[in-house]
Structure 1
Amino acid sequence: MRESEGVRRHRTDPDEVFQEMLQAARELLAVRTPLDAELMVSDMIGAWWGKRVKGGDVEQVLGEGLVDYAAKAGTPASLTLLICLAYLGTARQGAKAEGAALAMMESGVARPGWADRVGAVKPTGCFVSRDAYGDQDTVICTFGYRWTDPAAGGVTPDARNQDRHALVLVVDYNMSGMARDAWVSSQVDKLLEQARAEAAGNPMLLFEEIEPQQARALLDSAMRATREPKTPPPVSDSYSAFHAFARSRLKALPPGRKRPAPLYVEAPYSRERRAMLAAEFLASDAAEHLSDPSAASRCADHIIDYGCEHDFSRPMRISPTKCETFLLDWLPRKVMLSTAEQEAMPHVLSAWVRFAAGRTGLPEPGLRETLDAVWEATGKFPTAYRDPTSFGLDRPLLERLLPDGDLSALARRVFAFPFLQGVHGGVDLDGLDPADEGDRRTLLRIDHVGEIDEEHLAWHEEIAGRLWDGDPPQLWEAAQRLLDLGHDRHDVLHVLIEIVERIGGDPEELAAALDDIADIPDEF
């Protein structure tokens, strides 16, 4: 069902969207099973998943708005849609839809015979297919509908095996453990047989059954991770269509167990343990050919920190994708490397791959593929990693701006503190540290000499401190949008101050207000 494509275009009148969706809902009266209906409605409301609308949360503006619109329509199609939304919607949507549907049924509005079975499912098995790299889990949860058999004395799983189906979600650990793909298959036996066959005799794959409680914990965590990014997450084209269906099916799995740990997870690494691991690596046979021990040591620290902080405390996990992401994406964005470290890093990473493979028992084919990937990435690394000194910034200045080595902070910190060099009013700016509270105030006084009172200076300190820390990320994102429109830096800062001062300490409300800023209001 793709009648809801019009919803995917940005429309200004929600009633136009709702009218189109109710017209599409007429198809629900023609389907023969609750599974077909649930998938159709999941696809329909998936049209707005991950989108943003003016006036509030999209699930409230469009989701709850659709419930209200359908309740007013009072037709068999709108009742059928409400029955599905009572199961597939958010908690608020579901409660509203259920109440509206009950009222319509009491008034005599007709509904399909299968409507009572919407969402009446029972899990029949849960499985996970894992690659030996630990890159991703493919989780398969199978379900069967319940049905009422008077002879059996009540509601039972469908013994006739009708409408048995499998929900499949892919959890990507190179993307913060988010669910990045989802689909549904009615060929359950064929799907499971194929998964077992692919894993049989393949050292790079593992297929096993897991408890339903474990599957729920794993997938709840993965779907939360997919919701967290403020920008549209990198999911498959089909994910939005199955999101509501998957969210609702997970509620049929019993809660109460911890998620199965990703491969190679160990206890959290303290600073001391990280240092010990780096020392073990540097003393190993894998690292004996590294010619610059000092640079190799600092590179090893970055590799270990990346695995601990961005890969579920797994510094020993290696894979082609993880190594490429580390070398060509994370390092160029996040870490300021010296010239010696830039030259050493690809070689240290190759040595680390050999060291880690020996410790984790990665099969030989996986080791070869990972080393090949590092070799290919090595040729691209000099282009991917742009030394910030090549932009005309000298290293002492960079070290003042980036004492934490976080390259991603450079632009926002330069924006916050434009005067960092030279002499002004007898003050040697080169000797001031923008990370120090006293020096920071001096720098801001020079930036606003003769035009600012103490209270307003305090607010500039607040904004500068937030920009320095990147707290919240939406602050710098909003500033960039306004700068891209050609607005003056000081005007942008004053808009940010007004928002932070007005919102106060609620971080979620502040993030939402900053997200909504598209231009500077006329009064500024």
Structure 2
Amino acid sequence: MNGHPGGFVPKGPRCVRVRWLNVSPRPTEEISGIFDDMLLHARELLAVRSPLDAELIVSEILGAWYGRRTGGGDVEELVGEALLDHASEKGTPASLALLAGVAYLGTPRQAATAERKALRLIDEGVARPPWAHKVGLIQAGECYVSRDAYGDQDSVVCTYTYAGSERHALVVVVDNNLGGRWDVPCESGLVRDAWVTSKVDRLLDHCRTEAAGELTEFTELTPAQARALLEPALALTDSLADAPVSDTFASYHAFLRARVRALPPGGRRPPSPVYSADRRATLAARFLASREAEELSDLSAAGRCVDRIIDYGCTRDFGRPLRVSPVKCEMFLLDWLPRKIFLTPPEQEAMPHVLAAWVRWAGRRTGLPEAGVRVTLDAVWDATHKFGEAYRDPVTFGLDRTLVEKLLPDGDLEALPRRAFALPFLTGSLASLDPSDPSDRRELLSFEHPGATEAELEGYERLAVRLWRGDPPDLWETAQHLLDQGAERHLLVHRLMLLVVEHDLDRRALCRALRDLRADGL
């Protein structure tokens, strides 16, 4: 299901409009005014009788600060808990209604605080809303997943009741392509959208009808399996500063978080396949020997290209190099390769043709319907002319190709600037040296730092090796930040070397020291 199926309008609050909340420091009066706005909207909680309507209103209020970032601490603590304090101080029926909702929908800390404050208001005689006792009676029912044949997207449908009544369904869209867009370790896709409907039977009938086609399947999950699928996907979404979620996702976030918690634990996701170097090489060899690869003219370039395709599938698609889809191929050609990989001119020329042959070969091996193979091939050819525009060979910026190839023996295009910063003297009489070779690297560093002691040269080499590997990422981030601030390179290199030597055996301490250096400057 892409988006909301026809006839199913997401159920949610109709009139809540919370003023945009920025978590940067503001005068106390202004923050208090924003919280008063929220309590004003919370009065709608007194007019509804359905616990589902009430939960969705509270979820939208809590979503007012979803995705906001602050350097002063956890946003849930700074804003969410401050709102609870404000509601408790007001002591109105709307305040109690909001606290009752947060006691179920909030984070563990928010929930504990809200419950304690709500009980105090009840003891003081504040009237409790009629739905309040029902929100804790949620029961998980049957769960399903709708999957497209490409493996791009899972739409998970989880049904619930309040102690057997008011059946409703939560639909969660998990995107299995976007998770690989971020260079962070992840074992799942990410949640991109969520919505709720009370028309459960119509929804399920729609899903079954849609699954009658050859490019979609609809299967039942146990509630524990649904939780095992959704929990890591939601965690990945929440960990990203700019996750590409729908415009309405913030309103449903707290509701979604609580409903995932309501599913029983114990389910397990199928483990991602592990592809060793030998297994990857065997896969590449079988492809190159296949009939789909017969028309590839430059087998040497094709071999290097297919290695990149397999690497992308193993590292960015959760161990699924054989999975092909229009979206995956477009992201590979137009996003990952231009950002990450250095290609020689023959490889640039060959890559779209190798990818098209791989689509045909992998599609046959995985049983992708012929219609799906055709659509994927169309996407590859549509992206081919854009690939020439998106991929920028470093040589076009005036860099010597031999120098680039020495700095990028592994093809890691993102490493070029930090390696050039670490080892800038690869010209003239030093042009024949290999910076990836330890003895040649020491000679380069001796030329850059004449008169340095052996201990100092060892420190500079440790720094160069860390920059070469990008370990930790904070090292190059700090160097870039200070260069942007006008720092002189030789002074910056010396300061970074001292930090690396001091904290070489404690990676966390090194990262803390680098963050302090970014904040304080040279």
Residues 505-514 or 232-241, more deviating = 505-514
Residue 256 of structure 2 is aligned to residue 246 of structure 1? yes
TM-superposition CA deviations, 1:63-90 (whole Å, max 9, x none):
2222333333332222222221221111
Instruction: Name 2:26's counterpart in structure 1.
Output: 12
TM-superposition CA deviations, 1:276-297 (whole Å, max 9, x none):
1111111111111111111111
TM-superposition CA deviations, 1:453-483 (whole Å, max 9, x none):
9988877666554433333435544554554
* CA distance, structure 1, for counterparts of residue 98 and residue 492 of structure 2: 46
Match of 1:204 among 206, 215, 218: 215
* Structure 1: segments with no counterpart, 5+ residues: 147-156, 423-427
TM-superposition CA deviations, 1:210-240 (whole Å, max 9, x none):
11111000000111221233x3111111222
Residue 385 of structure 2 is aligned to residue 379 of structure 1? yes
Output aligned runs, 1:83-482, within 5 Å.
83-146=100-163, 157-158=164-165, 162=166, 164-176=167-179, 177-200=189-212, 202-229=213-240, 231-259=241-269, 267-422=273-428, 428-435=429-436, 443=444, 464-477=464-477, 479-481=479-481
CA separation of 1:475 and 1:79: change in aligned 2, threshold 3 A:
farther
**Alpha-carbon shift at residue 370 of structure 1 (Å):** 0.7
* CA distance, structure 1, for counterparts of residue 140 and residue 499 of structure 2: 48
When normalised by structure 2's length, the TM-score is 0.85
Residue 10 of structure 2 is aligned to residue 3 of structure 1? no
* CA distance, structure 1, for counterparts of residue 352 and residue 100 of structure 2: 57
* CA distance, structure 1, for counterparts of residue 148 and residue 509 of structure 2: 37
* CA distance, structure 2, for counterparts of residue 386 and residue 300 of structure 1: 20
CA separation of 1:102 and 1:353: change in aligned 2, threshold 3 A:
same
Could you tell me which amino acid in structure 2 is paired with residue 195 of structure 1? C
**Alpha-carbon shift at residue 203 of structure 1 (Å):** 0.1
* CA distance, structure 2, for counterparts of residue 234 and residue 215 of structure 1: 22
Contact between 2:475 and 2:514, CA under 8 Å: does it hold in 1?
Answer: no
Residues 431-440 or 269-278, more deviating = 431-440
Could you tell me which amino acid in structure 1 is paired with residue 112 of structure 2? A
**Alpha-carbon shift at residue 506 of structure 1 (Å):** 6.7
When normalised by structure 1's length, the TM-score is 0.85
**Alpha-carbon shift at residue 101 of structure 1 (Å):** 1.9
Secondary structure of the corresponding residue to residue 60 of structure 1? helix
**Alpha-carbon shift at residue 169 of structure 1 (Å):** 0.8
Could you tell me which amino acid in structure 2 is paired with residue 366 of structure 1? G
**Alpha-carbon shift at residue 356 of structure 1 (Å):** 0.8
* CA distance, structure 2, for counterparts of residue 309 and residue 103 of structure 1: 52
CA separation of 1:382 and 1:364: change in aligned 2, threshold 3 A:
same
Contact between 2:474 and 2:514, CA under 8 Å: does it hold in 1?
Answer: no
* CA distance, structure 1, for counterparts of residue 77 and residue 415 of structure 2: 35
CA separation of 1:111 and 1:329: change in aligned 2, threshold 3 A:
same
TM-superposition CA deviations, 1:286-323 (whole Å, max 9, x none):
11111111111111111111111111111111111111
Contact between 1:218 and 1:260, CA under 8 Å: does it hold in 2?
Answer: no
CA separation of 1:215 and 1:111: change in aligned 2, threshold 3 A:
same
Contact between 1:122 and 1:145, CA under 8 Å: does it hold in 2?
Answer: yes
Contact between 2:280 and 2:310, CA under 8 Å: does it hold in 1?
Answer: yes
* CA distance, structure 1, for counterparts of residue 89 and residue 497 of structure 2: 44
What's the C-alpha RMSD, in Å, of the aligned pairs? 3.1
Contact between 2:478 and 2:514, CA under 8 Å: does it hold in 1?
Answer: no
Instruction: Name 1:154's counterpart in structure 2.
Output: none
Contact between 1:140 and 1:168, CA under 8 Å: does it hold in 2?
Answer: yes
Secondary structure of the corresponding residue to residue 6 of structure 1? coil
Instruction: Name 1:425's counterpart in structure 2.
Output: none
CA separation of 1:139 and 1:338: change in aligned 2, threshold 3 A:
same
Output aligned runs, 1:3-82, within 5 Å.
3-7=17-21, 12-13=26-27, 15-16=31-32, 17-82=34-99
* CA distance, structure 2, for counterparts of residue 364 and residue 468 of structure 1: 44
**Alpha-carbon shift at residue 106 of structure 1 (Å):** 2.1
CA separation of 1:493 and 1:84: change in aligned 2, threshold 3 A:
farther
Contact between 2:147 and 2:153, CA under 8 Å: does it hold in 1?
Answer: yes
Secondary structure of the corresponding residue to residue 169 of structure 2? strand
**Alpha-carbon shift at residue 490 of structure 1 (Å):** 5.9
TM-superposition CA deviations, 1:264-285 (whole Å, max 9, x none):
x7x3211111111111111111
* CA distance, structure 2, for counterparts of residue 459 and residue 494 of structure 1: 9
TM-superposition CA deviations, 1:327-368 (whole Å, max 9, x none):
111111111111111111111111111111111111111011
Q: Give the count of matched residue pairs.
A: 495
Contact between 1:499 and 1:510, CA under 8 Å: does it hold in 2?
Answer: no
Residues 486-495 or 248-257, more deviating = 486-495
CA separation of 1:498 and 1:123: change in aligned 2, threshold 3 A:
farther
CA separation of 1:260 and 1:8: change in aligned 2, threshold 3 A:
farther
CA separation of 1:443 and 1:136: change in aligned 2, threshold 3 A:
same
**Alpha-carbon shift at residue 167 of structure 1 (Å):** 0.9
Instruction: Name 2:5's counterpart in structure 1.
Output: none
**Alpha-carbon shift at residue 430 of structure 1 (Å):** 2.9
CA separation of 1:506 and 1:142: change in aligned 2, threshold 3 A:
farther
Contact between 1:504 and 1:510, CA under 8 Å: does it hold in 2?
Answer: no
Contact between 2:42 and 2:94, CA under 8 Å: does it hold in 1?
Answer: yes
**Alpha-carbon shift at residue 393 of structure 1 (Å):** 1.8
Contact between 1:142 and 1:166, CA under 8 Å: does it hold in 2?
Answer: yes
* CA distance, structure 1, for counterparts of residue 299 and residue 285 of structure 2: 11
* CA distance, structure 1, for counterparts of residue 81 and residue 455 of structure 2: 43
